[in-house]
Amino acid sequence: MMKPATLLRYLLGSREAIMEIASTRWSLAIGAMFVLSAGLARNYDGAYLPAEPTVLLRGFAASVGNSLLLYSLIWGIVALTKRGVPKFLDGYLSFLGLFWMTAPLAWLYAVPYERFLTPVDAIEANAWTLAFVSLWRVALMVWVLTVIFAARLVPVLLVVLCVANAALLAAAIAMPGPIVDMMGGMQYSPEDVLLAEIRTMVHTLSFFAAPVLFIAAAISLAWFRGAWQVQMQSPLRPPRGLLILAAVSVIVWLPVLELVQPEQHHRHTVETLFRAGSVAEAIAEMSRHDRRDFPPVWEAPPRAAYAEPGPPLQEVLAVVSSAPTPEWVRGLYLRKAWIQLAGIPSITDAADAGAVIERACSDYAANASKNPGQVLALRRWVAANDPHLTPGQREALEGSER
């Protein structure tokens, strides 16, 4: 009978644990709870769940789609060799249970890097965590398929890598992220620069790896041998220990949600108002709260690097100037203005402030927006709202249009 220790041994690749989980349908019920728990780990501090509950279903959709594709390929290959294969649905349900039982690895996504690292360092830490979990899952699925089909390791490895790379490429294409401006006209925040670099790297590597892996996997099929090894069991008693562990892995998020979801509620409210074009109401909503009432690395709209509907920055700045707003709100939009003008978050971050002022006043800034009049208005707004500017710097920014 499966026990909590069975899960640990399975995640470490134990052949006996793999066969034990594959041979019982309880793995589906337990695995589904783990997938839900993993969804909470991913999204507890990234989505307002009462208004965005579908984010919790993404793990189920992705796991069913990926596991079905992978199992279908291996099942079809084994069937072509005229060796022993199970009925398709029976075998797939065993494999789906094994696939879902890897979900506890996603608990690592719950580490709140944003709360103790800088935004850029947090993005890097999240990227490395994603890479670590993904590689562990791929390696485990290679071994699982090798065990349950008694297949040769190398052909299975190449087929799994081919499928995993295709999934990675699809995710890189579909993933919302900064729009890469190859001509350099668009200004990015440091966080957006890093995200764009990661997305481009993943997209490029997976694109060029795809044909190589496909050809290698196709060639390796000549050496593919395998036969189904799983014998289903009907346990008299449910695996109580694992059921309790799975249930606790979901319930434990309730007090965490109570602490973190108010931040997401405020974020969701403000972003909804911006999408509706209600700029004054959105700024008023932000002004009713402290910065700590929102997620730590949240970037309020508009986000220039993303193809998102909403008002332009100049319209938002006009509202910020015309209404009493707290210092943190003005500081947030001052950061956006500096990034758009000179590609830096603040004049205090510059080693050469004079060069930054010259950059902000140059044709470069005007060409970046294709609207010199708007750039002049942006410069004057920065001059009126940045307390770190010297009188001379302020005068330079308020100067006539170039």
pLDDT tens readout for residues 76-104 = 988 887 777 889 999 999 999 999 999 99
Q: What stretches of 175-251 show up as alpha helix (H) in DSSP?
A: 190-220, 240-251
Task: Tell whether the model's pLDDT for residue 195 goes beyond 90.
Answer: no
Mean pLDDT, the chain, integer = 87
Range scoring the smallest mean pLDDT among 120-129, 223-232, 370-379: 370-379
For residue 355, what pLDDT is reported? 76
Task: Tell whether the model's pLDDT for residue 370 goes beyond 60.
Answer: no
Sign of CA dihedral 143, 145, 148, 151: negative
Binning pLDDT at 50, 70 and 90, where does residue 22 land? very high
For residue 182, what pLDDT is reported? 43
For residue 183, what pLDDT is reported? 42
CA distance 310 to 372: 21
- Token representation of residue 5: 């220790």
Range scoring the smallest mean pLDDT among 115-129, 231-245, 344-358, 385-399: 344-358
CA distance 352 to 375: 21
For residue 365, what pLDDT is reported? 54
CA distance 223 to 200: 35
Tell me the average pLDDT across 48-73. 94
Q: Say if residue 236 is exposed, middle or buried (CB neighbours under 10 Å; 0-12, 13-18, 19+).
A: exposed
Select the more confidently predicted residue: 200 or 270: 270
CA distance 185 to 338: 14
Tell me the average pLDDT across 60-66. 94
For residue 178, what pLDDT is reported? 60
Task: Tell whether the model's pLDDT for residue 391 goes beyond 90.
Answer: no
Task: Tell whether the model's pLDDT for residue 26 goes beyond 60.
Answer: yes
For residue 237, what pLDDT is reported? 80
- CB contact at 8 A, 292 and 73: no
Q: Give the closest residue to 160 by CA, choosing from 146, 141, 144.
A: 141
For residue 177, what pLDDT is reported? 62
For residue 179, what pLDDT is reported? 56
CA distance 203 to 190: 20
Select the more confidently predicted residue: 51 or 221: 51
Range scoring the smallest mean pLDDT among 43-52, 72-81, 147-156, 179-188: 179-188
- CB contact at 8 A, 250 and 36: yes
Tell me the average pLDDT across 166-175. 83
For residue 372, what pLDDT is reported? 67
Angle between helical axes of 313-322 and 279-287 (0-180°, round to 10): 50
For residue 188, what pLDDT is reported? 64
Range scoring the smallest mean pLDDT among 22-26, 187-191, 260-264, 295-299: 187-191
Tell me the average pLDDT across 53-61. 94
- Token representation of residue 325: 């707003």
For residue 346, what pLDDT is reported? 76
Task: Tell whether the model's pLDDT for residue 131 goes beyond 70.
Answer: yes
CA distance 353 to 347: 6
Range scoring the smallest mean pLDDT among 256-265, 318-327, 375-384: 375-384
Select the more confidently predicted residue: 364 or 268: 268
Whether the bond into 211 is cis, omega within 30 of 0: no
Q: How many C-beta atoms lie closer than 10 Å to residue 280's C-beta?
A: 14
For residue 369, what pLDDT is reported? 54
First to last CA, the chain: 77
Q: Give the closest residue to 96 by CA, choosing from 74, 138, 64.
A: 64
For residue 368, what pLDDT is reported? 53
Task: Tell whether the model's pLDDT for residue 354 goes beyond 80.
Answer: no
